[in-house]
């Protein structure tokens, strides 16, 4: 029987291409190393990633660069108000088959390893919801027929801040399917100078191919076999539970807390982060580093809390400060239990 946990050799084998991916993507998007690490962590954990920021900050270029580096098939969909669900999933088309006219399914752009959903919140909620089944089950159903999506399959979506004109909030069920929601910040003056020096308007940066599809699948499998200690799993459970009203002081003003999917997401992302750093097990520090990207978009505040200037990010930070890493309700020794 094979070892269920990743060996030191497997971890080191996976770490080399991960470092190469980091270097390649840092040449695509200058001055955003933390963002790049989180995007890589998300796809290694087999999750979908939502990037939010103003237009022109490089969100789309980052996703395109990632697809080139991973050598994956990529499709880009520009989300607009007139986009229909079938424009994404595909449509049945009437064709002549063996002398008969019948409907034949024509796959849409979602049938790719990586779907770039550009400005996803500019489409109507009906079109946004076309991604729900695909993001959760890696398949789409059209006219009662189910079609399996390629493996791996990721949605990397970009969206503009919701305050901008012509945007629609994503449905809560769809937001919950994103492993991470990451904010793309504006560049510093120093980074802008580097961009101006090394970039030309309308010219895409060259990105080398780092891995094959099979090599990247092996990295993902290694991440799933990173050891998650029971005490870390317990910490994840208590942090997610503390996001619900009445479960912690920090959750005052929270209307809805994070779902069980959030706990699974935090566990998977923590293991992926441990692999990226060449460690055989996930730690409390991994959980604390990723709690914001995993939980921020899954916590809904009530009206009073929003008017008081609170944000879901501030709630997560308060929860991490309030919830101890050691479960104090669990006796540490038999003597204490007696």
pLDDT at 215 over 70: yes
Do both 200 and 280 map to the same domain? no
pLDDT at 333 over 70: no
User: Tokens for 105?
Assistant: 């399914």
> Is residue 138 included in any domain, yes or no?
yes
Q: List the domain range (segments joined by +) for residue 287.
A: 226-329
Query: What is the reported pLDDT for 332?
Result: 44
> Is residue 318 included in any domain, yes or no?
yes
By the 8 A CB rule, do 261 and 174 touch? Answer: no
Query: What is the reported pLDDT for 162?
Result: 64
Residue 204: give its domain's CATH number: 3.40.50.300
Do both 140 and 196 map to the same domain? yes
Give the DSSP H/E element, type plus range, for residue 118: strand 114-118
Residue 257: give its domain's CATH number: 1.10.8.80
> Is residue 288 included in any domain, yes or no?
yes
Do both 191 and 204 map to the same domain? yes
Do both 267 and 221 map to the same domain? no
Q: What is the pLDDT of residues 186-204, one digit of tens each?
A: 777 887 787 777 766 656 7
CA angle, residues 49, 233, 256, in degrees to nearest 5: 55
By the 8 A CB rule, do 48 and 152 touch? Answer: no
> Domains in the chain: how many in total?
2
Do both 234 and 178 map to the same domain? no
Do both 181 and 201 map to the same domain? yes
When the pLDDT of each residue in the chain is averaged and rounded to a whole number, the result is 86
């Amino acid at each position: 029987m094979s070892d269920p946990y990743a060996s030191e050799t497997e971890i080191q084998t996976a770490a080399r291409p991960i470092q190469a991916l980091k270097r390649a993507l840092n040449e695509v998007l200058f001055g955003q190393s933390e963002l790049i690490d989180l995007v890589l962590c998300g796809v290694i954990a087999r999750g979908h990633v939502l990037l939010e920021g103003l237009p022109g900050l490089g969100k789309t270029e980052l996703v395109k660069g990632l697809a080139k580096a991973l050598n994956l098939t990529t499709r880009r969909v520009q989300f607009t108000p007139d986009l229909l669900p079938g424009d994404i999933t595909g449509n049945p088309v009437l064709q002549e088959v063996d002398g008969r006219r019948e409907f034949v399914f024509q796959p849409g752009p979602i049938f790719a390893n990586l779907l770039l959903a550009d400005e996803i919140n500019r489409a109507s909620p009906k079109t946004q919801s076309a991604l729900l089944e695909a993001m959760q089950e890696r398949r789409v159903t059209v006219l009662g027929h189910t079609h399996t999506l390629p493996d791996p399959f990721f949605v990397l979506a970009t969206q503009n801040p919701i305050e901008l004109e012509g945007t629609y909030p994503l449905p809560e069920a769809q937001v919950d399917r994103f492993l991470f929601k990451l904010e793309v910040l504006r560049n510093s003056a120093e980074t802008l100078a580097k961009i101006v020096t090394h970039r030309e308007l309308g010219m895409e940066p060259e990105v080398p191919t780092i891995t094959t599809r099979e090599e990247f699948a092996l990295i993902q499998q290694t991440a799933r076999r990173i050891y998650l200690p029971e005490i870390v799993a317990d910490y994840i459970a208590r942090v997610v539970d503390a996001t619900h009203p009445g479960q912690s002081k920090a959750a005052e003003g929270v209307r809805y807390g994070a779902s069980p999917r959030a706990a699974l997401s935090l566990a998977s992302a923590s293991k992926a982060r441990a692999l990226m750093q060449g460690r055989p097990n996930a730690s409390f520090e991994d959980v604390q580093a990723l709690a914001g990207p995993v939980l921020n978009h899954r916590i809904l505040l009530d009206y009073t809390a929003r008017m008081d200037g609170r944000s879901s990010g501030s709630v997560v930070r308060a929860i991490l400060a309030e919830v101890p890493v050691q479960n104090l309700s669990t006796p540490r020794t038999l003597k204490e239990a007696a």
